[in-house]
Amino acid sequence: MSILEPKIYATLGLIYTILLIAFIIYKIIAKRDNKEYQELKERIVSWFYMITFFTLGVYLNDIAGVIFLALISYLAFKEYVSLIPTRIIDRRIIFYGYLFIIPQFYFAYTQWYAMYIITIPVYLFLFLPFRQIWIGETNGFIANTSKVYWGAMLFIFALSHSAYLFKLSPINDITGPMMLLYLLFLTEINDVFQYVCGKLFGKKKIVPKVSPGKTTEGFLGALVLTTIMAILLRYLTPFNLFESIFAGLIIASAGFIGDVVVSMLKRDVGVKDSSNMIAGHGGMLDRLDSLTYTAPLFFHFVYYIYY
């Protein structure tokens, strides 16, 4: 059964309108300057495809929606594993990271909070070193276990909060799918605001050793604009004015932190983009970096207030 609702339709229509306006602006600028601006074009077109695939994957059916979100988590973890240095023997441990995606998202789907919240932080954490004992390879034990556990926490556990949010029981006429759209839209537009404000006003670098392109002006500009958007879009949530302001501040701040944390990962392994999967955007981690922080923090904000 479709879970698209009038408020979701309206918001998706708004997003497609913004993309259309961006594409028209691109055409005008490209014609005026007689340049291709290929990266800008690829970014806009990729956004169109990503939003369409997301809508079809998540909003047509709740079971399909959770499976789609689990697939996104799988691809993110897979991309992470492809970036970090590993040995053949390490794959026996990495396998369990993939395996734990199944119970993690199953508990999100069934809303079994007690099991959901401890499956990876407790059971995977305790199981990995136990499994290493039976493998018997002591060399690299700490490094290998830590890599898998950290990747599972960030790209499985953290991202799975989007699936739990998606399945939350309704609050009056506000549903989980509506709040998920609110989270994702604000997370992604916060990245855009940071980029635009940084380009227009950025002078002081905020974390030059980790992400030289990030500026204080870009962060503060995005903080203000994302908070305004959080207020304007609160029809997707049960929030009052104060709660929507707080939600905007959480998403803007957490989104920035998630972005630079994954930037540190990429800088450590010596790559600019995690892959070339998405034209103009890089890989899955390049698009999901902010969500690794916004999803759990926004979810627990909602869960604490209303559930």
pLDDT band at 133 (very low <50, low <70, confident <90, very high): confident
Residues 224 and 96 in one domain: no
pLDDT of residue 277: 66
What's the confidence (pLDDT) of residue 1?
43
Of the pLDDT bands very low, low, confident and very high (cuts 50, 70, 90), residue 86 is: confident
- Could you tell me the residue range of the domain that residue 78 belongs to? 61-167
Do residue 199 and residue 291 come from a single domain?
Answer: yes
Domain boundary among 138, 167, 196: 167
Q: Indicate if 161 and 200 belong to the same structural domain.
A: no
Per-residue pLDDT for 141 more than 60? yes
- Of 167, 202, 232, the position where a domain reaches its end is 167
Q: Which of 69-78, 118-127, 136-145, 224-233 has the lowest mean pLDDT?
A: 136-145
- Does one domain contain both 188 and 303? yes
Do 56 and 66 belong to one domain?
no
Last residue of a domain, one of 45, 60, 75: 60
Task: Verify that 182 and 306 share a domain, yes or no.
Answer: yes
pLDDT in tens, 162-174: 999 999 999 988 9
Q: Based on the domain organization, do 213 and 142 belong to the same domain?
A: no
Q: Tell me what pLDDT residue 56 has.
A: 85
Say if residue 5 is in the same domain as residue 68: no
Sign of the Cα pseudo-torsion (102, 266, 81, 128, in order): negative
**What is the average pLDDT across 129-135?**
87
pLDDT at residue 36 in the model: 65
Shared domain for 94 and 155, answered yes or no, is: yes
Per residue in 262-288, pLDDT (tens digit) is: 988 888 888 776 667 665 556 788 888
Q: pTM (2 decimals)?
A: 0.91
Q: What is the per-residue pLDDT across 45-66, written as a single tens digit (0 to 9) for each?
A: 777 888 888 888 888 888 999 9
- pLDDT confidence of residue 142: 86
Domain count, the chain: 3
Pair 224, 238 in one domain? yes
Same-domain pairing of 25 and 52: yes
State whether 140 and 189 are in the same domain: no
Check whether 223 has a pLDDT greater than 70: yes
Q: Which of 47-61, 99-113, 152-166 comes out lowest in average pLDDT?
A: 47-61
